[in-house]
Structures are given as structure tokens and as C-alpha cells.
Amino acid sequence: MTGRIDAHHHLWELAAVHYPWLMARGVERFFGDPTPIQRDYLLRELRSEAQPCGIRASVHIQVGAENGLDEARWIQTVADANPDWPMAQVVFCDLTSTDLSKQLDTFQTLPTVRGVRQIVGRAPGEDARTGTNSLLDDPRFLDGVQEVGRRCLSFDLQLIPELMEKTARILAQAPDTRVALCHAGSPHDRSPAGLNDWAQRLRALSDLPQVSCKLSGLGMFDHGWTPDTIRPIVETCLEQFGPERVMFGSNFPVDKLYGDYASLTQAYHDLVPAEAHSAVFSQTAARFYDLEVPRD
């Protein structure tokens, strides 16, 4: 049986790469108190948690390093040192940069690089302060998304439901760029009305054939989550995207704040229909990120 893929996780070594957000002391974030994860989180720890759950390969997602290229080069050294663990990476690059082509040329010298993530929205309160939503009004952002696709790279999209329709209108103009929607589109309002609103807005993205969806990061807005509280999100994503466009991601170590890896994967295992397991836990991510996964 082909091993599973964790399609969304982070690693960090604080002496190797600087993460300003991670090292800010006493700052509460939308996902909670980061104090327990303000330490190194290395591949050996991820593997010790993930391998017993059948994970055999993974995708590292950029995570707010001060210098995105430093982070990408460090991840490449981690991948090179662990050839028995296939790992792709999604890097940070400002798609509105005047030297975007040069930056992407440099990133693409690293064989693990498969895509780019530039966050559009994290949470309503933080977005109001950071101004990331303004990317959607910058014509250079669309140009950048299109350029990513021309290079056969993908784009990891993180945003909140309120931005879905506007973002979908932009992505419709970049049909050749494969998009991975992070964290199911961050449904931050978990009331019945909030989830209904998220599901309706999600249609704008799920109707675009180039967009896939990650079942990841669902604990960030539901710190005491249970299988029953995330069930409607899982079911809606599978219904709208189909298993062939849905993939599992742990979002560790951030979601480690809310539970252990085994409980997380077991919840998804139980919520995803058995006939969709191979797609959601392996095939979708393998195809999207061009990963070869070892067989058990």
C-alpha cells in the first residue's frame, strides 16, 4: 500500500532561520498562545509523530521567515539529508515584486520547490492590521500568479471566507496555475450560520477546476475541536471539490497546540469515506506536488 502524505506542515530551527512572528514573546495570535511551539521543530520530531500514522512523505509550507530564500535553502538541506523521506516545499515570494522573475529563477534552482505561498488572509482582526488583503487590488498580484503557472509551479492560497469571491475572480484569469486552498479556506465562524456562509462562498473557488483544497489547520479557530465539530467542514469540502481535489495536511506544529498527531489523523480517517482515503491521504497531494511516495 502506498504511504500517506502530509500535504501541509512546517519545520523550523531557530538558530538557522529567523521567524519574527514566532519569537515575539507574550503576543497572542489568532491561533492562540504560541509559547509551547517557540522552540525547534525538526523533521525527526515530525517523523516520530507522523510515521506511526502511515505518513511516508510530506510538503513543507513556508511559515513567515524573515528571509524566504534562507528558509527555502534550509529546507533543501533538510531534504538532502533525509533522502528516505520525500519532501516537497512551497516557498514565500512576493508576487508583486519588480524582480519576481529573478527571485523565482533562484528558487527554482532548489529541486524540492514546487510552489509559492503568499498569504492573502489569516483572520479578520490580524488582516485589518497587516493589510495583506490589499494584494487582491494590486494588478501585479494577478501577473505574479500567472507567472507562477507559466513556470509549472503551484500557488498555495490562504485566505478567509469573506475574500473568496473576489479571489476567485482573480484566479479565473489564471486558469493554468494550480491552486491549493489552505485550511479549507479558514472558516473562522463555526456557528451554523457561519459555516453555512463559508460553504456558500466556497463555491466560488470549488467551481474553478484548477483549485484543490486542504483539510488542514481546522484547530486554529476551534481549539477544542472534536470529530463532530469538524465533520461539516470535511463533508462540505469533499462534496464541493471531490476526493480527487482534496488532500490531508496536519498543519503541525501549529495544530499541535490543540492535540496529538494520532488523534488528528484518526479523526480524518473516520470522517473521510473509505473509498476516498487513497485520494485524500496520498494521490491528490502526490499528483499536485509531484511527489513519489514509498510503499509500506
- What's the CATH number where 47 sits? 3.20.20.140
CA distances 33 to 22, 25, 128, 149, Å, are 10, 10, 20, 36
Beta strand 113-117 with 87-92: parallel, antiparallel or unpaired? parallel
- In this predicted structure, the answer to whether residue 131 has a pLDDT above a threshold of 90 is no
Residue 126 binned pLDDT confidence (cut-offs 50, 70, 90): confident
Residue 1's pLDDT is what? 65
* Residue at 215 is within a domain: yes
Residue 161's pLDDT is what? 97
* Residue at 295 is within a domain: no
* Residue at 294 is within a domain: no
* Residue at 15 is within a domain: yes
* Residue at 268 is within a domain: yes
Report how many domains make up the chain: 1
* Residue at 296 is within a domain: no
d(CA 53, CA 250): 11
* Residue at 166 is within a domain: yes
Average pLDDT over residues 235-249: 98
What share of the chain in percent tops pLDDT 90? 92
Domain that holds residue 202: 4-289
* Residue at 167 is within a domain: yes
In this structure, what C-alpha cell is assigned to residue 177? 496555475
The torsion angle over the Cα atoms of residues 178, 183, 184 and 189, rounded to 10 degrees, is -150
Average pLDDT over residues 270-278: 98
